[in-house]
Amino acid sequence: MLSRKYNPWLGGAALLWAVTAQAQTLRDIPGLELERLQLNPGARDSLVLSTGDLLQRGQYHISLTAHYEREPLVLLEHGEQSATIISDRVTTHLSGAYAITDWLELGAQVPVVSQWGPTVRRFQRHGR
């Protein structure tokens, strides 16, 4: 049976090359964040204000929040709306938080998003 010795740096170099190649392909497509509502899972004072106040030890908070947006993403040309990319959007957030101590709180959010818009054929221009 033949045994080969591999340089441990070879695997690291291959992994680094793969990660940088992936980053280059992702850089070509700009990111766009449609979610503008930021919720506070602890919500001691308010669901939408992050005041830094924590729940007291042993307390928990669970919430279900829903919101609707009309035309959150439109295309403007020369200052005029020329197309609607996303016409309607509904988001539901299930969130919760638990205070392990008076100074440590764990929180999580699970958003469920449904969005729709016109068909792609409406964006095609004649003669191109």
**Is 60 exceeded by the pLDDT of residue 96?**
yes
**Is 90 exceeded by the pLDDT of residue 98?**
yes
In a domain, 41, yes or no: no
Does the global pTM surpass 0.75? no
**Is 90 exceeded by the pLDDT of residue 57?**
yes
Distance CA 41, CA 111 (A): 12
In a domain, 52, yes or no: no
In a domain, 96, yes or no: yes
**Is 80 exceeded by the pLDDT of residue 13?**
no
Predicted local distance difference test score (pLDDT) of residue 127: 45
In a domain, 82, yes or no: yes
In a domain, 40, yes or no: no
Into how many domains does the chain fold? Answer: 1
Enclosing domain of residue 113: 59-128
Q: Sorting pLDDT into bands at 50, 70 and 90, what band is 99? A: very high
In a domain, 121, yes or no: yes
Ranges of beta strands (E only) in 1-128 are: 60-77, 80-99, 105-116
